[in-house]
Amino acid sequence: MDIEQHFGVKLSAVVAGLVGAVVSLGYMRELTPGRAFLYILTGTACAAYGTPLVVKWLAVSGATENGVAFLTGVVGMNILAGVFKVSERFKREPVKTFHALKNAPLDALKEKPSTESKDV
């Protein structure tokens, strides 16, 4: 069975995401076995299906993709937690949330004026 053709994901992204998710467990405290399994599953799924989005967004390719998949696996549960928070806000304030998301990338890239005073 060809996993890429059957599931639409690269095997290398799945493996790198799985390893990243397992590594992230070392930084978690007081996890039950069920919750640990959920973290691994979530990190692996985020890496498998999210890596192509991140790779395109960062304009990287080749071996770098596996590094992106690993890091996506490490932070997969946090990514989904953020998505759920945005979803909850969207449910309450769809228009404001849409506008915030639409403008967020540009606002994040704008250089903020320095508030430090310069002594000459």
Residue 39 domain flag: yes
Q: How many domains does the chain have?
A: 1
Place of tokens 């691994």: 40
Low-confidence stretches of the chain (pLDDT < 70) are: 1, 104-120
| pLDDT score recorded for residue 113 | 59
| pLDDT score recorded for residue 68 | 93
For residue 25 the two structure tokens come to 């467990």
- Determine the structural domain holding residue 49 and report its residue range: 3-78
Q: To the nearest whole percent, how much of the chain has pLDDT over 90?
A: 40
Residue 92 domain flag: no
| pLDDT score recorded for residue 109 | 43
Residue 45 domain flag: yes
Catalogue the long-range contacts made by 7-13 (C-beta closer than 8 Å, 24 or more residues apart).
7/48, 8/49, 9/48, 9/49, 10/48, 10/51, 10/65, 10/69, 12/65, 12/66, 12/69, 13/47, 13/48, 13/51, 13/52, 13/65, 13/66, 13/69
Residue 55 domain flag: yes
The pTM assigned to this predicted structure is: 0.71
| pLDDT score recorded for residue 115 | 59
